[in-house]
Amino acid sequence: MQRLIARLDIKNGIVIKGIHLEGQRRIGDPIELAQKYYAQAVDEILLMDSVASLYGRSNLFHMISEACKTVFVPITMGGGIRSIEDVERALAAGADKVAVNTALVNAPSLAERIASVYGSQCLVASIEAKRKGEVWEAYISNGREPTGRDVIEWARELELRGAGELLVTSVDQEGTQRGFDIELCAAVEAAVRIPVVASGGAGKLQHLQQLDERTELQGVAIASLLHYDKATVAELKAALPSTYDRQGAVK
């Protein structure tokens, strides 16, 4: 595992944390939390507008601009990215990448346009996955609406269309702190060649270790462990000795 990412889900200007992508527990100010995790040496920060698809717009552009004044690690902006113009605005605000889910489901060719204009490294295709029997179905609108798409097939299509990496969130595990859906992560990883980042379920350090032992994912997005002060970034890195040295640098 090569990247430890702090995930901040934002609603009305406040970082929130729920269960199964639902809920309203207020955590704190996004800029202050981004600064805190940056000071702890997190590798990247992911800012997600949790209600952007619901309201058809994102409120994060100004927030990204403010964060970039004091936070100097790669920042990914997600939620409400619906067009090339939105991508341009996000990058102009200081984001390094954009995470897109709903808009890609509604118009898959958008992935090709983003990759063509800004490069595949700019596009993080976000997949919200719910288990359906022995497989997983992709959801949109912050885990609210089923798409009828098989997650593994959709992951392959997104790679072919130019996505540079995949952010795979297990809606079933998200916020539960019961551990990752490792089977889901391994299945997506086996289906594509681009980097895969897992999100949803970490509640203790052992969960990261289990994921690291059973997959070769590029990264993991962490929320509850950091937001509830269950672990510092240094402690998370120490739990992954195959990736980080004693100083917290990638080996």
Q: List residues with catalytic annotation.
A: 9, 128
What are the helix and strand counts (H, E) for the chain? 11, 12
Structure tokens at 153: 């097939």
The answer to whether 119 touches 164, Cβ cutoff 8 Å, is: yes
Q: CA–CA separation, 166 vs 78, rounded Å?
A: 12
Three-state secondary-structure class, residue 115: helix
Three-state secondary-structure class, residue 151: helix
DSSP 44-92: EEEEEETTHHHHTS---HHHHHHHTTT--S-EEEESS--SHHHHHHHHH
